[in-house]
Chain A
Amino acid sequence: MGGLAHYLESEGVPTTQISLIRMHTEKIRPPRALWVPFELGRPLGVPGDRAFQARVLLAVLRLLEAPFGPVLEDFAEEAAPAEASFTWACPVSLPPPTEPETETGQLAAAFLDEIEHLATWYHQAVRRQPEVMVGASGLEPQAIGRYLGGFLAGRVPPNPRPELSWPWLVKLAVEDLKAYYFKAVTAQPGQGDPGSARLTDWFWGETMAGRVLLKLYFILAELDDPEGHFLARYLLVPMSQIHRLHRRVH
Chain B
Amino acid sequence: MARLEDMPKEQAAHIANLDCPTYVTQPWVAGPPLSQRRVALISTAGLHHRQDRPHTGLTPDYRVIPGDIAPQDLVMSHVSTNFDRTGFIQDFNLIFPLERLRELADQGLIAGVADFHYSFMGATDPRQMSGQAGEVARLLLKDQVNAVLLVPV
B146: nearest chain-A partner, CB-CB:
A14
Interface string of B125-136 (1 = CB under 8 A from A): 011011001101
Contact of A153 with B by CB under 8 A: no
Contact A48 B100, CB 8 Å, known A3-B21, A40-B153? no
Contact of B39 with A by CB under 8 A: yes
B19: nearest chain-A partner, CB-CB:
A27
Distance of A183 Cα from B83 Cα, bound (Å): 17
Distance of A137 Cα from B53 Cα, bound (Å): 10
Distance of A69 Cα from B28 Cα, bound (Å): 7
Q: Tell me the minimal C-beta distance from A170 to chain B in angstroms.
A: 11
Chain A hits for B84, CB < 8 A: 39-42, 196, 200
Distance of A8 Cα from B25 Cα, bound (Å): 13
A51-59, A103-111, A141-149 - the one binding chain B? A51-59
Chain B hits for A238, CB < 8 A: 81-82
User: Cβ of B54 and Cβ of A47 under 8 Å apart?
Assistant: no
Chain A hits for B75, CB < 8 A: 133-136
Distance of A3 Cα from B75 Cα, bound (Å): 24
A11: nearest chain-B partner, CB-CB:
B137
How many B residues face the partner with a CB closer than 8 A? Answer: 86
Distance of A183 Cα from B126 Cα, bound (Å): 32
User: Cβ of B39 and Cβ of A23 under 8 Å apart?
Assistant: no
Chain A hits for B93, CB < 8 A: 44, 50, 53
Chain B hits for A119, CB < 8 A: none
User: Cβ of A65 and Cβ of B100 under 8 Å apart?
Assistant: no
Which among B11, B16, B86, B145 has the highest number of chain A CB atoms within 10 Å? B86
Distance of A61 Cα from B33 Cα, bound (Å): 10
User: Cβ of B88 and Cβ of A43 under 8 Å apart?
Assistant: no
Chain B hits for A182, CB < 8 A: 85-86, 89
Which among B50, B89, B103, B130 has the highest number of chain A CB atoms within 10 Å? B89
Contact A28 B148, CB 8 Å, known A165-B56, A171-B79? no
User: Cβ of A61 and Cβ of B147 under 8 Å apart?
Assistant: yes
User: Cβ of A31 and Cβ of B27 under 8 Å apart?
Assistant: yes
Extra contacts besides A15-B150, A18-B149 (6): CB < 8 Å: A6-B21, A39-B84, A43-B151, A70-B28, A133-B89, A236-B81
* B interface, CB within 8 angstroms of A: 1-4, 6, 8, 10-11, 14-16, 18, 20-23, 25-31, 33-34, 37, 39, 42, 44, 48, 50, 54, 56-57, 71-72, 74-77, 79-95, 97, 100-101, 103-104, 109-110, 120, 122, 126-127, 129-130, 133-134, 136-138, 140-141, 145-153
Q: What are the 5 A-B residue pairs with the smallest beta carbon separation, nearest first?
A: A3-B126, A41-B84, A11-B137, A7-B133, A196-B84
